[in-house]
Structure 1
Amino acid sequence: MERFVHSVTLQKQLCTGCINCIKRCPTEAIRVREGKAHILAERCIDCGECIRICPHHAKRAVSDALEVLKEFEYTVALPPPSLYGQYNHLDDQDRVLDALRRIGFDAVFEVAKAAELISDATRRILATGSIQKPVISSACPAVTRLIRVRFPELIEHVLPLVPPVELAARMARREAMQRTGLPAEKIGCIALVPCPAKVTARHTPIGSSHSEIDRSVAIKDVYPALLAAMSHVERPEHLAAAGSIGLGWAESGGEAAGLVSTENYLAADGVENIMRVLEDLEDEKYGGIDFVELRACAGGCVGGVLQVENPYIAKTKIKRMRRMAPYAQNRLEGGVPTEMLWDTDLTYAPVLELGATRSERFERYNQMQKILKGLPGLDCGSCGAPTCEAMAEDVVRGKAQITDCTVLMRHRLEAMLRAKEEQEAARAAGGREEAVVK
């Protein structure tokens, strides 16, 4: 079985056993057992929805601390475009980029720059017609993993390009090696990430045999140090290397809008919305659509749970920056380079299958349907599973018992109570009749 490395973890001491998380997980990867939530690692796509929804902060994303800068002789920061929306009064990227060097990075390489190159490559691929339309963006690792797990029929529609942060790491390392003469292993490419899915993508990259990203630091962890450093930047050095197209990737629809070669696109964000879109795509309900951009976080990357600013305010700040920025500063020369393309195929991850063989799956499916008919169909979550169907599946897999259903248990107790009352009533009636006879 494929090895999964996840960034979303559970702090059991904070978990109260409420069912908020199980109802919102898009892959039904959470169960509540013995009063505590449990994350099923093989199902988790690290979308961070459980982190967002947990009222007790029992879910968190594990990322690297800023101290990882000490592990390398030369470090390059990879700031995403959503980072700029975290701060006030920015006319361009230079103040943030300058501050990154002040807090210890030796160089910076904007992910927005790589995003503009990905946009150019996407336009060229769409023009060739080599991928079945509608073409689905591969920029959000949570969405790509969701397709692998729940929508395998859509795999052939996914754009086979590495995400911008991965391309940025590859380009940044090459430039740093040329600039410093250092070997690759002494150069650290540090991604500043807005969401747990991008932390996971470093450990288990999609479409790539390995990742050039060395460490992943959450934006919320670098935010205070960066804010303090920015207060000392009076005349920042001009370091910005991306225009409006690259900055637009921070918000939902920004990637699709940058594809000037097509107006027939669809953009959606938020787990519940993208689930509906993927279901409709699987049913071939969208005609005439060339490109589909999906982001697991509400509002796009600005809505990542590892950020600080309200996503709607962050979007407004970035829109202001985009108005002042040039349209685009980066284009490909020649064809699409191989470093932008996947080197491994996207394959179906059958973690939701009921068995290893067709006969085993068929047998278990029939068992599940029989169990499901006996369940109340309320999808209340009181048993610890998100739906009655998930409960039936757990029983078939040997992970739960039918007696875990609290509704059935209540019905049985009520039936036992009624039977006892009827027996007592019958005995009382029998006693009265005997007294009358005497």
Structure 2
Amino acid sequence: MKPTICYTLPSCKNCLKCIRACPTEAITLKNNEIKIDQKKCIDCDMCIESCDSRGLKITNEHITKTMSQYDYRVILVSTSIFSDFKNFGEAKKMFKAIERLGFDEVVQYSDIEGALYMESMHQIENENSLKISSFCPTINRLIKQSYPTLVDNLLPFNYPVEVAAKKVRDRLADQHGKVGIYSLCECVGKMTLAKHPYDNEDSFIDHAMSVSHIFPKINRLKNEDEAELRISQEGIQSVVSDFYHFAQGTRPVVSISGIDNVKKVLELAEFGHMDEIGLLGLFACYKGCIGGYFLWSNPFIGRLNIDQMVGHSTHHLALLNNEDYFKEHELIDEEHISMKEKMQRFKKISEVLSTLPQFDCGACGFPNCRALAEQIVDNEADDSYCRVKRRDDHAD
């Protein structure tokens, strides 16, 4: 897949904020330029938020350049966008404005979100082991990369937006010529699911764009006309981490939001310290998907807005078959390294690390001394990058 986050400045100011913010040590500073290791990046957007110079940007597409490619255009609107609306009337006006951008259909899929949320609750009643529910691509990448022993604990569900896109394609097959499906996203992670501009050829979604990217346009197009909307209460609630605590059932359910908190609970789960829990609901963004980087409301006000939206919702859920949403989570070892080779590499890294000061100051441009040691073993750097070691060598 193509990179999601790109570095755009001619030179870095060396503040190191993005390096410190990255939860997977994917960012380094070399030759006064920020480098992002795509194998380690989980598209969490924490580096973008930390960059005062706005030098890290998300690859985006302008819809006006692509819409002419299709005979029929559908846009899928994320459920969490309802956290941006102060009342249901405003939501209906904004959905009508989205249609005026040139779409033949505007589809919100809270009924699918709700159905998968309820199916998660149902499945854990028949299980005796810890299960993990995450409809967040960022969290799933984090688990596969850093906590691979927990992959089998993930519920085998596809992302709601992918389920919605598949159902739209099946419904419109052979009816409207070439159909283009767009996804309006609240976060960086969900943008990466699309074919364009990210080359995810397994997706049913053609193009992805951020809510913040088109908000000025739809705000100008908004008038008193309203779209017909029927939203699912369970779907609206499922995008807020708090609601997971109110799940009905015999197995305990715990929801965790925020990357740092998620990492802590996954470390505990790896060592069996969460086995009494039935389900972990994990969200990369604070307060759940309503904390998405591209939403214009803050998650605190967004939480209040969701409460208000619940009053206009119904208990309708999408009718889904197992084939509609089943997706096994698999580990992909792109490097095909054997365990013996991994252990040999680990030994070399440890040997190099023992020669470094292990202050983890970041002055070398790497997140910590272990990250520098890994680069030295991979012949991507040498110990001259370490300023502390250079100073000590000169002192001698």
TM-score normalised by L of structure 1: 0.83
Give, in angstroms, the shift of residue 306 of structure 1: 2.3
1:338 aligns with 2:323: yes
Report the 3-state secondary structure (helix = DSSP H, G, I; strand = E; otherwise coil) of the residue aligned with 1:202.
Answer: coil
* Match in the other structure for 1:162: 158
1:144 aligns with 2:140: yes
* Match in the other structure for 2:203: 211
Determine if contact 2:134/2:140 at 8 Å carries over to the other structure.
Answer: yes
Check 1:251–1:15 CA distance in 2 against 1; reply closer, same or farther (3 A cut).
farther
Report the 3-state secondary structure (helix = DSSP H, G, I; strand = E; otherwise coil) of the residue aligned with 1:16.
Answer: coil
Q: Where does the alignment leave 5 or more consecutive residues of structure 2 unmatched?
A: none
* Match in the other structure for 1:119: 117
* Match in the other structure for 1:264: 252
Give, in angstroms, the shift of residue 259 of structure 1: 4.4
Report the 3-state secondary structure (helix = DSSP H, G, I; strand = E; otherwise coil) of the residue aligned with 2:10.
Answer: helix
**Counterpart selection for 2:190 from 198, 204, 209:** 198
| Structure 1: distance between partners of 2:160 and 2:317 | 13
Give, in angstroms, the shift of residue 350 of structure 1: 4.4
Determine if contact 2:165/2:204 at 8 Å carries over to the other structure.
Answer: yes
Check 1:399–1:364 CA distance in 2 against 1; reply closer, same or farther (3 A cut).
same
* Cα deviations by residue, 1:116-143 (Å, 9 ceiling, x for unpaired): 12123323433343xx632111300011
**Counterpart selection for 1:249 from 223, 238, 256:** 238
* Match in the other structure for 1:425: none
| Structure 1: distance between partners of 2:340 and 2:99 | 60
1:64 aligns with 2:61: yes
* Cα deviations by residue, 1:303-337 (Å, 9 ceiling, x for unpaired): 22223222322222222212x1235211537xx33
RMSD: 2.4
1:96 aligns with 2:94: yes
1:347 aligns with 2:347: no
**Counterpart selection for 2:373 from 392, 399, 411:** 392
Q: Share of identical aligned residues, percent?
A: 26
Q: Where does the alignment leave 5 or more consecutive residues of structure 1 unmatched?
A: 417-438
**Higher helix fraction: Structure 1 or Structure 2?**
1
Moved beyond 6 Å, runs of 4+: none
Determine if contact 2:87/2:308 at 8 Å carries over to the other structure.
Answer: no
* Match in the other structure for 2:294: 306
Check 1:92–1:266 CA distance in 2 against 1; reply closer, same or farther (3 A cut).
farther
1:240 aligns with 2:229: yes
| Structure 1: distance between partners of 2:256 and 2:365 | 30
Check 1:259–1:163 CA distance in 2 against 1; reply closer, same or farther (3 A cut).
farther
| Structure 1: distance between partners of 2:40 and 2:90 | 40
* Cα deviations by residue, 1:124-176 (Å, 9 ceiling, x for unpaired): 433343xx632111300011111111111001001111111111111223333
Determine if contact 2:184/2:210 at 8 Å carries over to the other structure.
Answer: yes
* Cα deviations by residue, 1:2-49 (Å, 9 ceiling, x for unpaired): xx3331111132632331111221221111111111001111111111
TM-score normalised by L of structure 2: 0.91
| Structure 2: distance between partners of 1:228 and 1:328 | 33
Report the 3-state secondary structure (helix = DSSP H, G, I; strand = E; otherwise coil) of the residue aligned with 1:64.
Answer: coil
| Structure 1: distance between partners of 2:230 and 2:309 | 14
* Match in the other structure for 1:220: 212
Determine if contact 2:75/2:103 at 8 Å carries over to the other structure.
Answer: yes
| Structure 1: distance between partners of 2:309 and 2:85 | 11
Larger Rg, first or second structure (1 or 2):
1
* Match in the other structure for 1:105: 103
Report the 3-state secondary structure (helix = DSSP H, G, I; strand = E; otherwise coil) of the residue aligned with 2:330.
Answer: coil
Determine if contact 1:5/1:200 at 8 Å carries over to the other structure.
Answer: no
Give, in angstroms, the shift of residue 262 of structure 1: 5.1
Determine if contact 2:212/2:294 at 8 Å carries over to the other structure.
Answer: yes
* Match in the other structure for 2:179: 187
